C-alpha cells in the first residue's frame, strides 16, 4: 500500500499547481490516466482572464462574470477569485511563462485579448497555445520536485471512505483505488487529503471540443462516495468548433471573434446582430443557441466565422496554431470564412465546494473544472476557467495543509486490498463501445443546446437501462480503462439529465422549450444532488 500526505488526481493546471505547493509540506502522489500532458489544460487556446490593465478594474471583471452567470454566481466567490488572480498570474510568470506582449509608448505591456462577454481586453495569452505553454512549464517544475511521484497511466477507480469501511466516525476520505494500466492491477493508495482535479465531461456528448480523457471521472467518483453534486444541467457548448469531416474536436478560439471575427450564416449575413447587442461577442450561451437556431432554420450544416478582413500577417502571428490546422484541412482563413458548429465544451457544475475546494466529504477537495465553487453560475465567462484553476489550487493547498485529520486516521491504518473475485477478461468489447456511442448520441440528441421535457425523460429512461447493463459488466469482468470510463460516462450523463429535469425554467446554458422563461422565485438557486 502506497501512502502520501497528499494525493492529486489529474495533471492539468489545477492539479499541478496544487501539487507544487503541497510538495513544500509533504509527499505528493499525482495520478493521471494518460501521460502528464494529456489534459484539457493543454488544449486551452484563448488564455487567462485577469485584470492587469489600468483601463480595466476588478469591479468590471466581477460585473461581467455575474452577468454571464445569469443570477447563479456566488458573488463572494467571484470577488475572491478575480481579486486574487493577479498574484497567481505573477507566480506563472516567475516560473518562466512568457505571455505575449506589445510595445506601447516605449515600454512593454501584456498584449491582452478580448472575448465574448468581456467589457474590456483582459485575456492574457501565448499566441493561441496558452494552455499548452502553461502545462509544459508546470510539468517541468513538477518533475524537479523530490517529494512528488507522477504516476502516469494510472486511472482512479473509486474513493475509499470511512463509511464504506464501516468506521463509526465522521465519514471522510481515507484513500483511493487506482488501476495501473501497465500491469492491469488495481493498487491501494492511502492519504487523508485527496484532491480531484480531473477536469470535465465533454466526452459524454457526441461532439465536443474536449480530448478523449474528459469522461467525468471525478464527478462520478465523488457521487459514488456520497459527495454533493451541483448544477450539472449547465453544460457549456462552445459556439465555434471546426466543422470538417476529418477534423476531430478542434476548437476555434473565442479570441478569433475577440479580434474582429464575424459569424455569418450560409447567406453571408452577420446574423448575431439579431440576437444580442454585442453581436458575435455575446456570451457563449447566447451565441451557441443563435447558431443552433440559424442551422435549424436554414437546413445548413454549419455557419461561418469570417476574419478575412484582418491583415494576413496579424492572423498568422496571433493565431498560428489555428491557421496551420485549418490550412491542413484545406481552409485558408486568410481568404475564406471558417466553417464552425457548436460542440460540448465545459461543465459549469460539478462537485459542490467552497472557495477553498473543500467538498461535503471530509478529506476530499475538488479544484478546476470538476469543482463547482459558484464562480461560473449558469454560464461561464470566457477564459475564467484557467483563472479559477490557479486560485482554487492555491487556496486548496493552504486549506488542506492546515486541516488536521482525526486522530484515528493519523495512525498508519491499513486499507483493504482490491478484491477482483472470480471476474474474467471482457470478451465482448463491442458491447462496451456500443454503449459508449449510445450514451454520447442520446445526450447530443436529447440533452443538447435546446431541450424539452419529453427528450429529457426519454434520455433518463434509456440511461437507467444502460446503467444496469454497465453495472453487470463492472461486477463480472476485470476492470479496464474502457470499462471504467464507460461507467463514469453513464453516471455523469444521468446526473446531467436529473439536474435538467428538476429545473423547470430556462437560465444560462439550460434552455428548454417547455419552460422558456427565467423563474427567479423558484429557481434562483443551485441544483443539488446527493446519494446521502
pLDDT at 475: 86
pLDDT at site 427: 65
Is residue 210 helix, strand or coil?
Answer: coil
Residue 531 is a catalytic residue: no
Whole-number Å distance between alpha carbons of 21 and 297: 52
Q: Determine the pLDDT at residue 100.
A: 94
Mean pLDDT by 10 residues, the chain (532 residues): 96 98 97 95 93 96 97 98 98 96 88 92 95 97 96 98 85 96 95 97 94 96 97 96 88 93 96 94 91 91 96 96 96 97 96 98 97 97 96 98 72 81 69 91 94 97 95 87 95 98 97 97 96 76
The pLDDT score that the predictor gives to residue 476 is: 82
Could you say which of 114, 122, 172, 284 is catalytic?
284
- pLDDT number for residue 408: 56
Please give the domain boundaries of the chain with CATH numbers for all domains.
1-44+126-234+348-405 (3.50.50.60), 240-343 (3.90.700.10), 429-524 (1.20.58.100)
What does the pLDDT read at residue 248? 77
Give me the sheet containing 371-372, strands edge to edge. Answer: 371-372, 350-352, 229-230, 528-529
Yes or no: say if 226 and 161 are a contact pair by the CB < 8 Å rule: yes
pLDDT of residue 426: 64
The confidence score (pLDDT) of residue 166 equals 84
- Name, in order, each residue with C-beta under 8 angstroms of 222's C-beta and a sequence gap of 6 or more: 159, 196, 229, 351, 359, 361, 364, 366, 370
Please, are residues 191 and 7 in contact by the beta-carbon 8 Å criterion? yes
- Note the maximum CA span of the chain: 73
Amino acid at each position: 500500500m502506497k501512502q502520501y500526505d497528499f494525493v492529486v488526481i489529474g495533471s492539468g493546471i489545477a492539479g499541478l499547481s496544487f501539487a507544487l505547493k503541497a510538495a513544500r509540506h509533504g509527499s505528493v502522489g499525482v495520478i493521471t490516466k494518460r501521460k502528464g500532458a494529456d489534459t484539457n489544460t493543454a488544449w486551452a487556446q484563448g488564455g487567462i482572464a485577469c485584470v492587469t490593465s489600468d483601463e480595466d478594474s476588478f469591479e468590471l471583471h466581477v460585473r461581467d462574470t455575474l452577468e454571464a452567470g445569469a443570477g447563479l454566481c456566488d458573488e463572494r466567490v467571484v470577488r475572491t477569485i478575480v481579486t486574487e488572480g493577479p498574484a497567481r498570474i505573477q507566480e506563472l510568470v516567475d516560473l518562466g511563462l512568457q505571455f505575449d506582449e506589445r510595445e506601447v509608448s516605449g515600454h512593454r505591456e501584456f498584449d491582452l485579448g478580448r472575448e465574448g462577454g468581456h467589457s474590456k481586453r483582459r485575456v492574457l495569452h501565448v499566441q493561441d497555445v496558452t494552455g499548452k505553454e502553461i502545462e509544459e512549464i508546470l510539468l517541468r517544475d513538477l518533475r524537479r520536485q523530490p517529494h512528488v511521484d507522477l504516476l502516469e497511466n494510472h486511472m482512479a477507480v473509486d474513493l475509499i471512505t470511512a463509511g464504506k469501511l464501516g468506521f463509526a466516525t465522521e465519514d471522510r476520505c481515507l484513500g483511493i483505488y487506482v488501476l495501473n494500466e501497465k500491469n492491469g492491477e488495481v493498487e491501494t493508495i492511502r492519504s487523508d487529503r485527496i484532491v480531484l482535479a480531473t477536469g470535465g465531461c465533454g466526452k459524454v456528448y457526441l461532439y465536443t471540443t474536449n480530448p478523449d480523457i474528459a469522461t467525468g471521472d471525478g464527478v462520478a467518483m465523488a457521487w459514488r462516495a456520497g459527495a454533493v453534486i451541483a448544477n450539472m444541467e449547465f453544460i457549456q457548448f462552445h459556439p465555434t468548433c471546426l466543422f470538417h469531416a476529418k477534423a476531430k474536436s478542434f476548437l476555434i478560439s473565442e479570441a478569433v471573434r475577440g479580434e474582429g471575427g464575424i459569424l455569418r450564416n450560409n447567406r453571408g449575413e452577420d446574423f448575431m446582430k439579431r440576437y444580442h447587442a454585442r453581436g458575435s461577442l455575446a456570451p457563449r450561451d447566447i451565441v451557441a443557441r443563435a447558431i443552433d437556431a440559424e442551422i435549424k432554420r436554414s437546413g445548413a450544416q454549419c455557419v461561418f466565422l469570417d476574419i478575412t478582413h484582418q491583415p494576413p500577417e496579424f492572423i498568422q502571428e496571433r493565431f498560428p496554431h489555428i491557421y496551420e490546422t485549418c490550412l491542413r484541412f484545406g481552409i485558408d482563413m486568410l481568404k475564406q470564412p471558417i466553417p464552425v458548429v457548436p460542440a460540448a465544451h465545459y461543465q459549469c457544475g460539478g462537485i459542490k465546494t467552497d472557495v477553498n475546494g473543500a467538498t461535503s466529504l471530509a478529506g476530499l477537495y475538488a479544484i478546476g473544472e470538476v469543482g463547482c465553487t459558484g464562480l461560473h453560475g449558469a454560464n461561464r465567462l470566457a477564459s475564467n476557467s484557467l483563472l479559477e484553476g490557479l486560485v482554487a489550487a492555491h487556496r486548496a493547498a493552504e486549506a488542506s495543509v492546515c486541516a488536521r485529520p482525526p486522530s484515528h486516521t493519523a495512525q498508519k491504518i491499513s486499507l483493504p486490498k482490491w478484491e477482483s473475485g472470480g471476474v474474467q477478461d471482457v470478451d465482448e468489447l463491442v458491447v462496451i463501445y456500443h454503449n459508449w456511442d449510445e450514451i454520447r448520441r442520446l445526450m447530443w440528441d436529447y440533452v443538447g443546446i435546446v431541450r424539452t421535457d419529453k427528450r429529457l425523460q426519454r434520455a433518463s429512461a434509456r440511461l437507467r437501462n444502460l446503467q444496469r447493463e454497465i453495472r453487470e459488466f463492472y461486477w463480472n469482468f476485470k476492470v479496464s480503462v474502457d470499462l471504467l470510463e464507460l461507467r463514469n460516462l453513464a453516471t455523469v450523463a444521468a446526473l446531467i439529465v436529473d439536474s435538467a429535469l428538476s429545473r423547470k425554467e430556462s437560465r444560462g446554458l439550460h434552455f428548454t422549450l417547455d419552460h422558456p422563461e427565467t423563474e427567479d422565485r423558484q429557481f434562483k438557486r443551485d441544483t443539488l444532488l446527493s446519494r446521502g
